[in-house]
Amino acid sequence: MTTRIDARFAELKQQGRSAFVTFVMAGDPDPKTSLDILKALPKAGADVIEIGMPFTDPMADGPSIQAAGLRALKGGMTLRKTLAMVRDFRKEDNATPIVLMGYYNPIYIYGVDSFLADAKTAGVDGLIIVDLPPEEDTELCIPAMKAGLNFIRLATPTTDDKRLPAVLANTSGFVYYVSITGITGAAAADSTAVAEAVARIKRHTKLPVCVGFGIRTPETARAIAENANGAVVGTAIVDVVRANLDAEGRATPMTVAAVADLVSALAQGVRGAKQAAE
């Protein structure tokens, strides 16, 4: 099975550069603006797109992404609408990998089998589910693999060498290394420590390793991209969405353009990296 994720990383490897992975919250601040943002991302330089599935109780997220999810829910976003958004995106872009990221409960309530079928049909390539560790693989990870979706696991500074094989066992697509112990949007990652951690993970897997949490600027993105197969930016993008809303929290004519500008700048950072990690 080869997904758009596998194809994209193979392509980038040939070009000798790392991936720029962007995170946006589905439905933030409203479904239409959110779709426009999504469509603007590949043009601005996003190689892989993570779409957050809004949830009322995101226990691993900091204030920015919590607020983004609540804005989306207030705007009427649901998991069904998130899948519809991916379907609309796919009408124009059949190459950029889409990874849905979020928490298990909305999927569990949707129904695992129907969710996987609908996600696959919509053009989703992978899933990152924060509250499903390998101990709960029978819930969604194994069914997702059977349905032809990548299940991308988070590895963290607390995932030691003894535990890594279990974490990597059913992982596909890429490995998402969480550079800090903490929530999204917290302290910046230290690129030396990240380089060591990526090297450690690579001793256990041939999969690409992308690094996220704590990357906000083109400079940090570049430093991370020199030491990993991809750099993920989420909170900084979500913050720009919020900064470009009107006083009532509605989109303005600036919202989409401001996100695209930031993403372009970050993409330049990643593309300026000297050498992607092998």
Partner 1 sequence: MNPNLPNSFRSGPDERGHFGIFGGRFVAETLMPLILDLEKAYADAKADPAFQAEMNVYLKDYVGRPSPLYFAERLTEHLGGAKIYLKREELNHTGSHKVNNVLGQIMVARRMGKKRIIAETGAGQHGVATATLCARFGLECVVYMGAVDVERQQPNVIRMEMLGAKVVPVQSGARTLKDAMNDALRDWVTNVHNTFYCIGTVAGPHPYPMMVRDFQSIIGHETRKQMQEAEGRLPDSLIACIGGGSNAMGLFHPFLDDPSVEIFGVEAAGHGLTQLHAASLAGGRPGVLHGNRTYLLMDADGQIEEAHSISAGLDYPGIGPEHSWLHETGRVKYLSATDEEALAAFQLLSRLEGIIPALESAHAIAKLSELAPQRPKDHLMVVNLSGRGDKDVPQVGDILKARKK
Contact set with partner 1 (CB under 8 A): 54-63, 66, 73, 78-80, 103-110, 130-136, 153-160, 163, 167, 178, 181-183, 186
Quick one: 96 or 150, whose CB is closer to partner 1?
150
SS3 169: helix
Tell me whether residue 167 or residue 266 sits nearer to partner 1 (CB atom). Answer: 167
**Number of CB atoms found within 10 A of residue 59's CB:** 10
CB 16 within 8 A of CB 276: yes
Q: Least CB distance from residue 105 to partner 1, whole Å?
A: 5
Q: 61, 118, 125, 137: which is the annotated catalytic residue?
A: 61
| 50 counts as catalytic | yes
Shortest distance, CB of residue 104 to partner 1, whole angstroms?
Answer: 5
User: Which of the following is catalytic: 28, 30, 47, 50?
Assistant: 50
Bridge partners (DSSP) of residue 211 are: 177, 231
Nearest to 270, CA basis, from 237, 225, 233, 232? 225
Least separation, in Å, of the C-beta of 231 and partner 1? 19
For partner 1, give the closer residue by CB, 2 or 158.
158
Catalytic status, residue 137: no
What pairs with residue 233 in β-bridges?
22
For 56-123, the DSSP string reads S--TT--HHHHHHHHHHHHTT--HHHHHHHHHHHHTT-SSS-EEEEE-HHHHHHH-HHHHHHHHHHHT
Whole-number minimum distance, CB 109 to partner 1, in Å? 3
Looking at the DSSP bridge assignments, the partners of residue 19 are 230
Task: Pick between residue 27 and residue 97 the one whose CB is nearest to partner 1.
Answer: 27
Q: Are 250 and 201 in contact (CB under 8 A)?
A: no
Q: Which residues are catalytic?
A: 50, 61
